[in-house]
Structure 1
Amino acid sequence: MPKNNPEVKKVLDVLKELNIEYTYHEHPPANTVEDAKKYADGIEGLHCKNLFLRNYKGDRHFLMITENEKPLKIKATGKKLGYGNLSFGSPERLKKYLGVVPGSVSPFGLVNDTNNETLVLLDKVTEVYELITFHPNDNRATLSIKYADLIKFLDWSGNPYKIVEL
């Protein structure tokens, strides 16, 4: 059960501490956006694509959040935003910075980024949704929270974030 996963418990404890309400849904593992679509029925809110990226030198890390259906050209987007060529971070980097494995990437991984080394790039298009959904550091569950509460969580995390047009 994902709720017994210490990483999920850590996320739920922070949400409780911040008085953030959520709805919790368990489902089979969803490793990709395509997998997640199979289990999205009945889960209210914008379903997001969360990408853990690094710059060419490997000395900066990014969490890019957008609509799950939106196609992204990562290298072009990195250049447009002034960060140069971006590419996917390795599973080892992902574990080091966000404490999760591929398929479980979400802003909730920031609970593990105690040095605040990951810059969050939140797509402006997500602002129009009241509810937004993410895995709670385990891809066998999904949480729906208010967009305003996502911002509250990001503020709590201490990680820098920017709302940008991706």
Structure 2
Amino acid sequence: MPETPQGLLARLDALGIEHRTVTHAPVFTVEESKALRPDLPGGHSKNLFLKPQKAPGPFLLAVLEEDRRVSVNALARALGVPRVTFGSAGELVATLGVEPGSVTPFGLVNAAPGSVRAVFDRHLVQDFEWVNFHPLTNAMTTAIRPKDLLRFLRGLGHEPELVDPPAGPALP
């Protein structure tokens, strides 16, 4: 069974990781989530669940600053993956334990180490005191300090990579 939002938050508590969680109506896009900004200060993201198109390899979870414009395939090439496609809803549920619209780095709590390559926009984790992500459901948002998020993910067996995504016009 995948981890629940309550179980995830309890894990953070058990590790002494400071976090703040707000419950809200479900949001499915960055644009919808921008209406919540007055209650959620800090950095916000768009999260892309990708898979290599032809070569075998781990899925990619690209965690980008919400306003970053990037070509998905340019990002993949910069990461040494020739081409990628978006993972299917079934692959997303099976790998991260979340539904479409709830993609989050917290989903790595459900992923086997090595099954997902977690790639973070350097700007997002270095320039904000707090970053905000869905805690496995798009009806909640959890603020966490970037260093604590990275420490949590490392404790799960995932080694986050910090990257400078190539600029591009393709994905708003």
Report the TM-score, using the length of structure 1 for normalisation. Answer: 0.92
The alignment's C-alpha RMSD in Å is: 1.3
- Does 1:134 find its partner at 2:133? yes
Q: Partners of 2:78 and 2:108 in 1: how far apart?
A: 25
**SS at 2:25 equivalent:** coil
**C-alpha displacement of 1:32:** 1.0
Q: Partners of 1:116 and 1:131 in 2: how far apart?
A: 27
Sequence identity, in percent?
34
Aligned to 2:100: 102
Give the unaligned 5+ runs of structure 2: 166-172
Give the conservation status (yes or no) of the 8 Å contact 2:132–2:143.
Answer: yes
Match of 2:46 among 46, 49, 62: 49
**SS at 1:39 equivalent:** helix
What are the equivalent positions in structure 2 for 1:3-152 lying under 5 Å apart? Answer: 7-57=4-54, 59-126=57-124, 127-152=126-151
Where has structure 1 moved over 6 Å in runs of 4 or more? none
Q: Partners of 2:115 and 2:51 in 1: how far apart?
A: 11
Give the conservation status (yes or no) of the 8 Å contact 1:118–1:160.
Answer: no
Give the conservation status (yes or no) of the 8 Å contact 2:45–2:63.
Answer: yes
Give the conservation status (yes or no) of the 8 Å contact 1:136–1:142.
Answer: yes
Q: Partners of 2:135 and 2:110 in 1: how far apart?
A: 12
Number of aligned residues: 161
Q: Partners of 2:58 and 2:150 in 1: how far apart?
A: 22
Give the conservation status (yes or no) of the 8 Å contact 1:22–1:144.
Answer: yes
**C-alpha displacement of 1:11:** 1.0
**SS at 1:149 equivalent:** helix
Aligned to 2:156: 157
Give the conservation status (yes or no) of the 8 Å contact 1:55–1:85.
Answer: yes
Q: Partners of 1:91 and 1:119 in 2: how far apart?
A: 18
